[in-house]
Structures are given as structure tokens and as C-alpha cells.
Chains A and B, each alone.
Chain A
Amino acid sequence: RKEVEQDPGPFNVPEGATVAFNCTYSNSASQSFFWYRQDCRKEPKLLMSVYSSGNEDGRFTAQLNRASQYISLLIRDSKLSDSATYLCVVNPTGRRALTFGSGTRLQVQP
């Protein structure tokens, strides 16, 4: 089983739609969680950290469910510029390096 699992997609949604991604992680003692965004042939960029209480940054909302070991990302009012691959990222306890999921591809269509 992979340490971080994501649905690869693609998710094809129209502009203005709300879309949600989930990911699951295997190490129950993981302490830090992030969502990164990666555009085609570019490096990953930090989108937001994920906190236990849930957190929001503009149109983006991230939530963590420790009991079920899953993390979610909700994007409201999708823009064409949101088209990218979204990477779920976890820091498993005992390691100092982040573990990246394989990503979920989002394509927002006009």
C-alpha cells in the first residue's frame, strides 16, 4: 500500500464549479500535511498547509480527518487557471522528508 494515495483523475469540471479531492495516508502518526500544486512540466508549489481544525485560503478549503486518515481539498468557483495537478503531501513520523502522493489532475473547462 502506498503511503499517500490519491485518485489520479482527471477531474474535468466547468468554470465556476466546485470540486473536491481526497487523499488517504497510511501512517496514523503523521504530523504535517500539505497540498501542493504542480503545473505541467513545472516544479511543485506549496498551495496550503492543512490543519486539524480545517483552514481556508480564498476559494480553497483544506480539511484533515485524523480518525479516518484522509485529507481533502475543496475548490470553489473554479477558474481556468486552477487547471493543474494537485499533490497531497504528508510528513510521516520518524522521517524528516515529505512524502508526496502521485497527484490528482484537474482540468477546468470554459
Chain B
Amino acid sequence: GAGVSQSPSNKVTEKGKDVELRCDPISGHTALYWYRQSLGQGLEFLIYFQGNSAPDKSGLPSDRFSAERTGGSVSTLTIQRTQQEDSAVYLCASSLSSRQNYGYTFGSGTRLTVV
């Protein structure tokens, strides 16, 4: 597609429920990144994919968080047993390569609210 697409754009869920967030990167972009941004805060790195593998998942805050990428394209971030502190905007980005001199293109994010 023309840009990075994320769905849903907004999600309200009850504490304890599982949620799935989807990211569809720019066609041909091999690198895909998940970040989250809490209100008024900076971007917090979660996980990075190169193709379908995740060489760096060091930012996942707990084992309730997992992510996968299939076909070198769409990625899903799953949060199990959501907690109120999981409320944030979850941003996905893709880049042509994981080489260091490429910037990212971000999707518009999924705003997650856990009530």
C-alpha cells in the first residue's frame, strides 16, 4: 500500500481481556518495528522484525506481550490479560531495510484504552 496501515485505530477493552493489533507495512519494506507511546511520553521500543524473524524483542515489557509477522508483511501485536498500564498509542513503522541509515515511516497508530 501507499503507507503503513494499522488497525483498529481505536480500541477500548476491559482489564483482563486479550487484544490484537494489526500492522500492514509499506510493500517491499523488510524491516518492521513496534513502539508504544504513553500520554505525554516519548516512544518506547517494543520489538523489531527483519522479514519474519524478530532479532530484537528486548523492549517487550512482559510475557503478556507477543508479536509475529507472516509472509514478510503483516504483523500482529498481541497483549494478553490487558492491564490499565497497557493503555497507550501503539505505533508500527516500517523501513526499506534495517540498515542504520534508513528512516522509518510510521502508521497512524492504535489508541488502546484499558478500562
Contact = CB atoms under 8 A, between A and B. Distances in A.
Interface string A90-103: 01000111111111
Task: With a 10 A CB-CB cut-off, give which of B33, B42, B50, B104 has the most chain A CB atoms.
Answer: B42
Interface of B: 31, 33, 35, 41-43, 45, 48, 50, 55-56, 59, 91, 98, 100-101, 103-109
A91 B56 CA distance: 14
B56 A44 contact: no
A45 B100 contact: no
Contacts, number: 49
Interface residues of A, number: 21
A98 B104 contact: yes
A98 to B, nearest CB: 7
16 contacts: A31-B100, A42-B108, A43-B108, A43-B109, A44-B91, A44-B106, A49-B101, A95-B56, A96-B31, A96-B56, A97-B56, A98-B33, A100-B35, A101-B42, A102-B42, A103-B42
A32 B101 contact: yes
B33 A97 contact: yes
